[in-house]
Amino acid sequence: MKVLALLLCLLCLLSIISHAQPVWQSNLDGKVEFYQTTDFGIVIAGSQNSLFALDGQTGERLWRKRTKGLDETSVTPIPSTDLILVSTDEGDKSRVEAVDLLSGATLWRSDKVKGDVMQLAVEPSQNLLAVVLVKKGKGKIGEEFKRSPVVHVFRLSNGDELWKKQLDSDVQMMPSRFDSEGEVAYTLDNYRAPLILDGRVYLFYEGATSYDANTGKEGERERFKINEGGLALTEADPVFDEKHLYTSGKGKIRAINRRNFKVEWEAKDLGVTPEMAVVGNVLYVRTGGQFTRIKDGEIDEKGSFGVSAIDTRNGKTLWRYKGADKGLTNFVFADANTILVADRDDLITIDARTGKKIGEFEHDIEKAQFVLINESGAAVVGGRDEIAAFQVPGSKSQVSTQSRFQQVSFSSAKFKQLGTWNLEPRTNELWRVKHKAPSRGVFRVIAGIALRATALYFRYGGLATSALNIARGAGLARSVLSLRWSGLRSRFSSFDLTTLATNSARSYITNQISVFGIASRTPNFLNRLSGLQVVTPTNIRGGIVSRAVPSRADVQESLLDRIDPVRQVEKLSDYFLRRKRLADLRGNYMYFYTDLPKPFNRKGLVGVNVNTGRDSRFVLVSEPDARFTTDETSSLLYSADGNRLQAFDVMER
């Protein structure tokens, strides 16, 4: 028996050691300057000398383009397509090119633009691409950094420019990261991304302005200060129903008629309004909350704090709830008639029909920043190092008796085993998990890694945090909102968790994708194999689309060009299957950077299942790069070390 026990211990130790080693490692031709995952399971990474595309599952190099001077704002994915935009600036030569993500071939190139693409909106069915660029977007953290963005609208298929506009004034920009003492790239992540809707392009940098998408003719314009008090994203992302587009700003809500583009009504005196949702004939808005300071990345609060309901037919305020305190989080719907919001002390339930408080109880989460509804219908309230689930009175959440007790953090010295439970029940509480960040290491670095770990969830939170899952017209909202891009998706750890929770409901990935590159040769085959709706947009509004001929002249080591046609189709099919899995994915795990318990005894990440409160995943990476990210479809974590990009296994418990 002793021999058997020793053998089991040895096997366990060997397993831990093997999982602590990278699953794969790719050595680039210089220091890794940036990297990001894509919807196809392909990792884009930039060195000091080249741009690489790597298979996220195996590390296999798909292609390489030699180009210097790229940074994290130089590469931008075009949502719901197989293309990325690459911005290069080599002295007097500046250009933007549309590159096939799968082969590295350039579909088209424009030398008329200067700067990096900061945000974009795309409408494949109308062959439209609107990009917002900024020149010389680098500076030091803490300084007031302003630039004048330029908007270009192209034909998506061939890069023909339809029109461009330069904003009338400089706008304040935001650092891409807050963990550097040198120069960093500045972004427009503190503004809402452009929106193409009903043949118009809406911009939200100097207020709210719309243009005819094909001609650039200006329509309605209203100027107001966007970043109130130096805070990011204090105004809500626009929402819409069949009749109106709703925008916020200057303390009021505007309802824009989608047929004539005129403002039909305004609801005034609301204050900052960072969140809106349409359910039937009611527009629900959250006023006040927690925001990220543009200057230093710290969290600040701004009121007044509450929730209001507005009649979408006439703009009249139906009710206002003002009982919330500082530290107000995002709001969610437990069901069609019940709104949940948390503040500094309490979890509050509000009757969506009357605005009256149904009930409240203390959540006891230090500096609570978000609330979400899990698959069981329970409310999950959390902060940077703790989450807890609560039974919502009258909701349908069902949780096993065992999980109605407090789970103790692994970092507690009192408990040494996995899954130890404190048998003292709490009122309404189903479970509670706390994982303190490691005490060893540079505090700023540790805090940054811990925040990024928790923030990972909101890349996949999807409908679980949204009122849109019960809203009429949600299908249309999902399809349009998925056709926009902002750096918020890849630079998520620069923001407070309240902002991320608010926006995660809009991070949709649809099952429809338009292909322009190498995949456009076999769309019917990919349709049958992947279950995606793969579209080759060769006929739009009755006119034949002019297609550019992809150029591979500047691509080195292109894998798909070297393999035979059968293997090529197999590879493409695999990437589209990954895209399909991502479209169906909803986040179930929230990660915390902490001191792992025995038998690990090291720093790493633990993934807590938000539906059960169980510590279900572990990643044995003691000191990840501060930009690390995960791919939930392949259960891998990516981290850079010098010129090496590494992938680590996410262990399932």
Question: Which pLDDT score is estimated for 470?
Answer: 47
| Pairwise pLDDT comparison (15 vs 437), residue with the higher score | 437
pLDDT at 227: 80
Task: At 367, list the tokens.
Answer: 């500096």
According to the model, what pLDDT value does residue 370 have?
Answer: 95
Tens-digit pLDDT profile for residues 186-228: 999 999 999 999 999 999 998 888 999 999 998 877 777 788 8
pLDDT of 481-491, one tens digit each?
Answer: 678 898 877 88
Computed on alpha carbons and rounded to an integer, the radius of gyration of the chain in Å comes to 25
Query: What's residue 428's pLDDT?
Result: 85
CB under 8 Å to 250, separation ≥6 — which residues?
207, 222, 224, 225
End-to-end CA distance of the chain: 25
Q: Which CATH number, 2.60.120.260, 2.40.160.20, 2.40.128.630, 2.60.40.1660, labels domain 71-223+512-585?
A: 2.40.128.630
- Angle CA 376–385–341, to nearest 5: 50
**Residue 137 token pair:** 């977007």
User: Residue 504: how many CB atoms within 10 A of its CB?
Assistant: 27
Largest CA distance in the chain: 82
- Say which range, 16-30, 405-419, 463-477, has the weakest mean pLDDT: 405-419
Q: Say whether pLDDT at 362 is over 80.
A: yes
Tokens read off for 99 = 């590159």
Phi-psi region of 483 (alpha: psi -120 to 50; beta: other; left: phi over 0): alpha
How far apart are the C-alpha atoms of 256 and 261, rounded to whole Å? 6
Helices (H), 417-512: 443-455, 474-481, 497-504
How much of the chain, in percent, has pLDDT values that exceed 90? 49
Q: Is the pLDDT of residue 478 over 60?
A: no
Query: Would residue 185 be called left, alpha or beta, if left means φ above 0 and alpha means ψ between -120 and 50 degrees?
Result: beta
Bridge partners (DSSP) listed for residue 373? 379
Cα 8 to chain center, whole Å? 42
Mean pLDDT score of the chain: 84
Percent of the chain beyond pLDDT 70?
Answer: 85
Instruction: Provide the 10 A C-beta neighbour count for residue 482.
Output: 18
Q: Residue 244's beta-bridge partner residues?
A: 257
Q: What per-residue confidence (pLDDT) applies to 540? A: 53
Rounded average pLDDT over 589-614: 91
CA angle 227, 228, 234 (to 5 degrees): 70
Take residue 326 and report the two structure tokens written for it.
């500082």
Is pLDDT at 355 greater than 90 in this prediction? yes
The CA-CA-CA angle for residues 273, 279, 281, to 5°, reads 95
DSSP 8-state secondary structure symbol assigned to residue 531: -
Spacing of C-alpha 66 from chain mean position: 29
Other C-beta atoms lying within 10 Å of the C-beta of residue 587 = 19
pLDDT recorded at residue 421? 31
Q: For the residues of 48-108, what is the DSSP string, one character each?
A: SSEEEEEETTT--EEEEEE-SS--TTSEEE-TTBSEEEEEEEETTEEEEEEEETTT--EEE
Q: Is the pLDDT confidence value at 480 over 70?
A: no
CB atoms within 10 A of CB 75: 23
In one letter, which amino acid is 447? A
Closest C-alpha among 329, 372, 581 to residue 462 = 372
For residue 456, which phi and psi values (nearest 5 degrees)? -55, -35
**Do the beta carbons of residue 125 and residue 570 sit within 8 Å?**
no
Helix (H) or strand (E) holding 17: helix 2-20
Q: How do the domains of the chain map onto residue ranges?
A: 2-28+586-652, 71-223+512-585
Q: Would you state the structure tokens that stand for residue 352, as one six-digit string?
A: 């969506």
Q: What is the pLDDT of residue 542?
A: 42
Q: How far apart are alpha carbons 392 and 353 in whole angstroms?
A: 17
The predicted-structure confidence for 280-312, as pLDDT tens digits, reads as follows 899 999 999 999 999 999 999 998 899 999 999
Residue-wise pLDDT for 261-272, tens only, equals 889 999 988 889
Tens of pLDDT, residues 56-89: 999 999 999 988 888 888 999 999 999 999 998 7
For 336-358, give one letter per residue: b (16+ CB within 10 A) or e. eebbbbbbbbbbbbbebeebeeb
Question: Tokens standing for 65?
Answer: 């383009």
Q: Are 336 and 329 in contact (CB under 8 A)?
A: no
Reduced to 3 states (helix: H, G, I; strand: E, B; else coil), residue 493 is helix
Dist CA 401 CA 378 (whole Å):
14
| pLDDT of residue 593 exceeding 90 | yes
The secondary structure of 148-168, three-state, reads: CCEEEEEECCCCCEEEEEECC
* Residue 525 clears pLDDT 70, i.e. is over it: yes
- Give the distance, in angstroms, between the CA of residue 102 and the centroid of all CA atoms in the same chain: 22
Length of the chain as a residue count: 653
Q: How far apart are CA 407 and CA 304, in angstroms?
A: 35
Closest CA to 505 of 463, 471, 460: 463
Distance from C-alpha of 407 to C-alpha of 269, rounded to nearest angstrom: 44
Alpha helix (H) residue ranges in 183-341: none
Q: Quick one: CA dihedral 497, 503, 505, 511, positive or negative? A: negative
Residue 564 has pLDDT above 70, yes or no: yes
Q: How far apart are CA 132 and CA 195, in angstroms?
A: 12
